[in-house]
Chain A
């Protein structure tokens, strides 16, 4: 509106005695300009606020990714040692090729036979697993737990026994061991190729391995261990298997390792509590800093109110200010967290010094932080939410304060 027109309109209003005309709230672009200029020109306070939010968001993004990486490592270690992510029984030999579906890295077929192992007078009952050595080596890690000798190779008439078994039967590498059926009838003899120790009792007790062709003839049960490609959801594969093979019994690691499942659930709960606590503390910090920042500008708010700034305008101005700060800081913080995760997910974080006796880290103690959508988005969104919450008190304080009191006191 040209200035002369404005004056004319004003004069007409007055002549018609219409009282003060109501004008709409402030233009948002101007409000935005004031908000950003205030932040820009009082940059010291802004930098302090930014620094707080950025470091909190970055730390939390990294922490979330680390938690995911820890869970990954525990699952990888626990399932990768021997069992795979999915175990199946009651499957016919001819059906096993149907298990190879997209997302599946490897299907190991194992034949098991309950036998007695004997050396002289000593006997031990255990489950002998006939395996394909090359495939086992490619997919699992328990063969790396060899403490003496070597893992059997295809074609050899050898056996791989646990250290416990070796001690009880007084066996050493190269010794010959008798295989008997459960009634005590001798079946055949195998040479000890290697001795292992995993540190996990259900593997170290009552289990021995030999190449499939070295198994004594007899009634064997078939079991399969399925290893998935990274990032394949285990539930979807299990569902598909149940459709393909309705008669087989298929279970995911979450079923046959309930302890690990619970540990990971517990981990998520702890993480949620940590994130909430850190943000509660940071939000108190942001609130206080913002309050000081606002109170420092109290006189200016008094002047603006005297000039006719409506409560809604004041609220919008303050919300825009803190909104600008938190959105900017959350973006930078997320980026910083993302980059940190990217660096460490390549090199990994070696915590093996703290995990050598932990059964969930039996293969490797290296963590690879991994970002999930949730881990990436929760910290910045929570920061923005808490930042907005932090504007409530200063806004109410300024809106309710009479400009005359502000201008008298400051």
Chain B
């Protein structure tokens, strides 16, 4: 269970003060698929970054399993991400100098899954995403849809509690994107992973357990 309590974030830049998030509060259950929508600049990326501990809110708290993850030290936050977070970004997620298998190896190594268990898990993931036989391919040799699928596989390889996807379908065509999101939501639901997807694509909303709409950093809730 993840609970956000009055999360606010203010950016100070050349354009003046920008209230990227103001007083965001909601609770997400295990296995829920939550879609964040809102116009460009409404604060979706900022919210995902706060949940993912890549950024620290100015005020408010984010509780995971009873711990305020915003108050953790840098080292513990990093280790928390290593253990319980998966990230998928809009594009260019994969490490370009590593093959598909080596990319998948990364989170497994970080979590101490090695040797035979590691090889087994990589095979299992490639099978799940329909990419068996792609082990030795380099990211440049993959299509956009294939690399996003690998990115998802890498993000869930270590069975994280939270999966954060920032516009994962933006570089894909509508039907490919839809298939991918469907697969993710189903997978996360069965594994008990809480999934956050930020998107512009309103067609995806029907699949979500919950939709959070942001407008100028404020939440307009509807279920």
Contact = CB atoms under 8 A, between A and B. Distances in A.
**Do A and B associate with each other?**
yes
Interface residues of A, number: 40
Interface stretch (B92-100, B174-182, B203-211, B214-222): B92-100
A299 B74 CA distance: 20
A27 B109 contact: yes
A17 interface: yes
Nearest to A42: B97
A307 B98 contact: no
Contacts of B66: 17, 19
Contacts of A306: 52, 54, 81, 85, 87
Interface string A11-33: 00010010111110011001001
A6 B113 CA distance: 8
B67, B82, B114: which has the most chain A beta carbons within 10 Å? B82
B83 to A, nearest CB: 5
10 contacts: A6-B159, A20-B80, A27-B114, A41-B138, A303-B89, A304-B106, A306-B52, A307-B87, A309-B78, A310-B78
A34 interface: yes
Nearest to A308: B82
B49 interface: yes
Given A6-B112, A38-B97, 20 more contacts: A1-B117, A2-B116, A6-B111, A6-B117, A20-B72, A20-B79, A21-B83, A30-B109, A37-B97, A41-B96, A300-B97, A304-B106, A306-B52, A306-B85, A307-B107, A308-B81, A308-B107, A309-B110, A310-B79, A402-B54
Nearest to A403: B54
A185 interface: no
A34 B110 CA distance: 13
A381 B118 CA distance: 39
B136 interface: no
B120 interface: yes
B98 A14 contact: no
A168 interface: no
